[in-house]
Amino acid sequence: MDDWEKNIVCAGKCEHCDSLLDPKQKRILSVYDHKVICMVCKKIEEQKSDYEDVSKAMIADCIKKTDRPYGNPGGFCFHHFCPYKC
Ligand SMILES: [Zn+2]
């Protein structure tokens, strides 16, 4: 497992609003800072005016870094757009 996976897969709380995350609760990664956030914070993020631009830049960047195709469920990029559980 890569380092980022160890750190995020079972994070106990949202890193943006500090609300507790149950292991069975869905969480997702922020496209802005790659932190684990709850679905409420994701909604807030999606409404930012630069969200689309930041998302595109993030995808390009992480495909380059991870060398895994976007949409691969094991890939870093995937967790920014598809909620996952612990
Ligand atoms: Zn949150």
Domain map of the chain by residue range? 3-80
Separation of 74 CA from ligand 1 center, angstroms?
Answer: 23
79 pLDDT band (50/70/90 cuts)?
confident
Q: Coil, strand or helix: which one is 42?
A: helix
Is the model's pTM score more than 0.75?
yes
Q: State residue 84's pLDDT score.
A: 82
Separation of 28 CA from ligand 1 center, angstroms?
Answer: 10
**Which residue do the tokens 């890939």 mark?**
75
Residues with CB under 5 A from ligand 1 (ion): 14, 16-17, 38, 41
- Compute the mean pLDDT over every residue in the chain, rounded to the nearest whole number: 84
pLDDT for 1-32, tens place per residue?
466 666 666 789 999 999 999 988 999 999 99
Q: Name every residue whose Cβ is closer than 8 Å to that of residue 83 and which is 6 or more positions away in sequence.
A: 26, 27, 28, 39, 42
Separation of 48 CA from ligand 1 center, angstroms?
Answer: 15
Contacts 24+ apart (CB under 8 A), 17-23: 17/41, 21/86, 23/85, 23/86
Please name which of 40, 15, 34, 44 lies closest in space to residue 76, comparing C-alpha atoms.
34
